[in-house]
Amino acid sequence: MLTAKNNVAYIRAEVMQRVAKSFVETNLDDIENVLDELSAEKTVYHNQDMAKAAIKGQILAAMGFLVQNVDENRNLNELAKEALERTLPTRAGLSVTKGACNACRSKTFEVTPMCQACVARPCELNCAKKAITVTDKAFIDQSKCIKCGLCAMYCPYGAIHKSVVPCEDACPVNAISKDADGREEIDIEKCISCGKCLQSCPFGAITYNSQMIDVLNVLKNPDKKVVAMVAPSILGQFGNDLGKVIAAYKALGFDDVIEVAYGADFTSKNESAEFVERMHEGAPFMTTSCCPAYVKTAKVHVPDIEKYVSNTGSPMFYAAEVLKKRYPDAVSVFVGPCLAKRIEAESNPNVDYVLVFADIQAMFDAKGIDINALDASAFSDEASAQSRRYAISGGVAAAVENLIDGRADYRPMKIDGLTKDEVKNLKRYAAKGLDNGCNMLEVMCCEGGCIAGPGCLSMPKKAAVVLEKYAAEGKNQKDCEIH
């Protein structure tokens, strides 16, 4: 995937900010001007048509539209009016803006000038399809090549280059592929909303449909009480002073802010009890259920492992229950790093909207909120140290282990980042059990954990340092009362 420091990420952030500002200042009346101005500014694109298509796709997504379902010729002002009148959010999903897609060449192996036409010729001798011949340099017959990669693996000079389609290569479940014109399209039924394609496309052609406009609309209504639930991975995303960040959310108009890590205390308690029960019943292993991208992977792509997935709710599930008991009539908004939480929220009546941190940053910018100038606020409920670490790979398994207390033998392992190879491993685990006699599997779709999610603003390692410091200030979950 691309590093966080790249033009596409900068452009996407600017589009989100300009759309939020357009809502705040003109109620989206100037959205066509936003398109024209941004398209003219982004000279990094090949041409003006590609720039305009990419920016328009991102504006549509920022207004909540699933781009693949929108006629590209429709007027933005007309669509903005629809967005403002919308009472129910559109179905969650990732889309490809066809006009911005580069139609990258499919995966191929090519010989570079580094080839020395060596005597050993391991590329030629190890090719099962006899696709390689060598004269003054190696040559690969693409009509015979099956893209196995053995030639590149064995070349002593590293002279054979593997070319990939970044979005296809990143997708762990093969939900994105080429259409008849060679451009990418996403199968929304297969897609797990992990966002890896979004993070990998070097042209900004892939978008997620945000609920930012929906939430801004609700916040503007004085008759609505709106409460935010913020994920543990918030640490380090908007600065290091969490109290000021909470105050900034309230400055946006949220009536209260709930720490989702408090919900994670319920998850730890219930998941540890479920693990003990399953082990006593003779189950070979259990897996975590916190990552919605993994849960959909199990359901759609590895159905044989679904029976081993914990039935315990995620931290968002329990935090939303707390919120609705406390504020029965409130509009609930989950804020975190994860696009897949939209999938989970669609089946949870206690969660009304889901935003990612990038959406919130755009809202802060549009409203001119200076976080550092605010007086610190605080959460009303204190989460445990273990639950605050849910956002880091290994944190969920460790929190559950802390509450097992010898009631069952606990031997955890983890998948730190869901890839094509790890999906194959999940199928193997379902058939043969976990490796090395383990009986608990934590699965995090994002490598490093939720702090590396596609909606994050900060570099994962930096965020982890801030989060660990904050977690260390919390109580042991054994000493916390949850209700």
Q: Is 114 among the domain residues?
A: yes
Quote the Cα angle for 151-157-163, to 5°: 50
Residue 237 CB-density burial (10 A; 0-12 exposed, 13-18 middle, 19+ buried): buried
Whether the pLDDT of residue 483 is over 60: the answer is no
Q: In terms of domains, do 345 and 472 share one?
A: yes
260 with 341, same domain: the answer is yes
Closest CA to 391 of 243, 259, 195, 215: 259
pLDDT tens, 111-147?
Answer: 999 999 999 999 999 999 999 999 999 999 999 999 9
Is residue 478's pLDDT more than 80? Answer: no
Of the listed ranges 300-309, 358-367, 456-465, the least confidently predicted one is 456-465
The answer to whether residues 174 and 275 belong to one domain is no
Q: Looking at the predicted structure, is the pLDDT value of residue 482 above 90?
A: no
Q: Is residue 2 part of a domain?
A: no
Start-to-end CA distance of the chain, whole Å, equals 41
The lowest-confidence range among 21-30, 83-92, 128-137, 195-204 is 83-92
The domain boundary, picked from 124, 145, 163, lies at 163
Phi, psi angles (nearest 5°) of residue 33? -65, -35
Same domain (yes/no): 254, 239: yes
| pLDDT attached to residue 451 | 95
| Residue finishing a domain among 155, 183, 210 | 210
Count of all residues that appear for the chain in the document? 483
Angle at 391 between CA 7 and CA 244, to 5 degrees: 75
Is residue 346 scored above 90 in pLDDT?
A: yes
Q: Which of 478, 475, 471, 402 is nearest to 440 (CA)?
A: 402
Residues 379 and 412 in one domain: yes
Given a cut of 70, whether residue 329 has pLDDT beyond it is: yes
Check pLDDT > 90 for residue 344: yes
Same domain? 237 vs 300:
yes
Asked if residue 427 is part of any domain, the answer here is: yes
Confidence class for position 100, pLDDT limits 50, 70, 90: very high
| 254 and 393 inside one domain | yes
In CATH, what number is assigned to the domain containing residue 185?
Answer: 3.30.70.20
The overall average pLDDT reported for the chain is 95
The amino acid at residue 286 is M
Q: What is the pLDDT of residue 382?
A: 83
**Which is nearest to 184 in space by CA: 74, 67, 71?**
67
Position 360 in a domain: yes
Same domain for 180 and 268, yes or no, is no
**Is residue 198 domain-resident?**
yes
Residues 6+ apart with CB under 8 A from 426: 297, 298, 302, 305, 415, 443
Q: Answer whether 123's CB lies under 8 Å from 132's CB.
A: yes
Q: Is the dihedral of CA 196, 197, 198, 203 positive or negative?
A: positive
Residues 66 and 89 in one domain: yes
Q: Is the pLDDT of residue 162 over 80?
A: yes
Question: Which residue range(s) make up the domain with 314?
Answer: 215-479
Of 210, 241, 268, the domain-final residue:
210
For residues 179-194, give the mean pLDDT.
96
Supply 451's token pair. Answer: 């702090």
Quote the pLDDT of residue 2.
Answer: 84
| Contact (CB, 8 A) for 314 and 294 | no
The HSE-up count of residue 349 (CA atoms within 13 Å, CB side) is 3
Q: Taking a C-beta distance cutoff of 8 angstroms, is the pair 261, 450 a contact?
A: no
CA atoms within 13 A of residue 280's CA, in its CB half-sphere: 10
Give 173 or 467, the one with higher predicted confidence.
173
1 found inside a domain: no
pLDDT of 208:
97
- Judgement on whether residues 332 and 438 belong to the same structural domain of the protein: yes
Looking at the fold, whether 157 and 90 belong to one and the same domain comes out as no
Write the pLDDT tens digit of every residue in 252-307. Answer: 999 999 999 999 999 999 999 999 999 999 999 999 999 999 999 999 999 999 99
Determine what percent of the chain is predicted with pLDDT higher than 90. Answer: 90
The pTM of the full predicted model, rounded to 2 decimals, is 0.93
**Residues of the chain above pLDDT 70, percent:** 99
Residues 40, 19: contact at Cβ < 8 Å?
A: no
Please give the backbone phi and psi of residue 319, each rounded to the nearest 5 degrees, phi first.
-65, -40
pLDDT in tens, 432-451: 999 999 999 999 999 999 99
Does a structural domain hold residue 423? Answer: yes
Residue 405 lies in a domain: yes
pLDDT band at 481 (very low <50, low <70, confident <90, very high): low
Same domain, 235 and 191: no
* Amino acid 245: pLDDT: 96
Give the total number of structural domains in the chain: 3
Greatest pairwise CA separation for the chain in angstroms = 80
pLDDT at 5: 84
pLDDT of residue 295: 98
